[in-house]
Amino acid sequence: MFHMMALIRQFEDKTYEMYTRARIGGYCHMNHGEEATIVGSIEPLRTQDWIVSYYREHGHLLARGAEPRRVMAELFGREDGVSHGRGGSMHLFDASRRFMGGYGIVAGHMPLALGVGYSIKYRKADEVTLCLTGEGAMANGASHETLNMIGIYHLPVITTIVNNQYGMGTKVEESAANPELWQRGDMYGHHGVQVDGMDVMAVKRVTEEAVQRASEGNPTLIDAITYRYRGHSVADPARYRSQEEVQRWREQDPIERFYRQLHDADLMTEDERVAIEQNVDTEVQDAVDFAEQSPEPDSQGLFDFLYVNPAPNV
């Protein structure tokens, strides 16, 4: 898990660099600071389980096991990307890992997670669905409708709120009459729980319990309290919050915190940490080199992936 958290951090550092150098275009939303919530939420999932995510999802797909090369190639808009260059940063997709996206509409993906959960119940399959969403989505009507139907039908869905404190520039206290979002679980027939989203082991524990609960037809709403170090997107200078606030959260850095836990338990030395981070640096640079060399999508494939039946390029 430490390797994956370090990989996500370094991948996002390089993504930011490539964006500022105009190698990546479009919208781009970073995961800096959210590594513990991401890895702790996805690590307990089994191969047969599903993930439906939103637009801040680079780290989500990496944690699900996607090759950094193919994720970076997608950010570059290249044919070898996970969405063949059609999706970009906000629409990563990998059916082979049951990663159903990457969606650009706030809360628009939540009814889709409901649909996956309904399919699982209909097929009587030993599967669960993890729906990752931001706290800003909880102000959208679709979140209420989705949670309500999941509760009504007792669907095997885990909804994890990656609560990074701000929906764009709006604090959760300014958008929710009751900012304790986990308490909405009780209203909709879910087990509601709040967790320290900067502690990967804490997130992993509550998610393991949620997977077991979902397997028995009981949904869970997890409110993971975390923080994004950068603005809402690469273009956001985040002037709505103070540097002192950001620094307070950086002092709880999830990677440093997990390293201290491992070190204090005699499970990792400083030399081992350095070796992991050096390997990650190499892995991320290799991903950039691969993306640079990957071809642009062919214009003849303009209508690919749009229709059930192949459509001619008119």
* pLDDT attached to residue 59: 98
Identify any residues that bridge with 219 across adjacent strands, giving them in sequence order.
Answer: none
Pairing of strands 157-163, 50-52: unpaired
The CATH number covering residue 185 comes to 3.40.50.970
Q: Specify if 305 maps to a domain.
A: no
Q: Specify if 312 maps to a domain.
A: no
Angle (CA) 40-210-264 rounded to 5° is 35
150 CA to centre of own chain: 21
User: Where in the sequence is the domain holding 278, given as residue range(s)?
Assistant: 2-287
* pLDDT attached to residue 314: 59
Average pLDDT estimate for 28-33: 96
163 neighbors 224 (Cβ within 8 angstroms)? yes
Q: Specify if 46 maps to a domain.
A: yes
Number of domains forming the structure of the chain = 1
pLDDT in tens, 151-179: 999 999 999 999 999 999 999 999 889 99
Q: Specify if 67 maps to a domain.
A: yes
* pLDDT attached to residue 299: 86
Q: Specify if 248 maps to a domain.
A: yes
Q: Specify if 295 maps to a domain.
A: no
Q: Specify if 302 maps to a domain.
A: no
* pLDDT attached to residue 304: 86
What is the CB-side half-sphere exposure of residue 192 using CA atoms within 13 A? 13
Question: Which residue type does 105 have?
Answer: I
pLDDT in tens, 101-154: 899 999 999 999 999 999 999 999 999 999 999 999 999 999 999 999 999 999
Q: Specify if 74 maps to a domain.
A: yes
pLDDT in tens, 62-101: 999 999 999 999 999 999 999 999 999 999 999 999 999 8
Exposure pattern of 236-262 as b/e (b: 16+ CB <10 Å)? bebeeeeeeebeebeebbbbebbbeeb
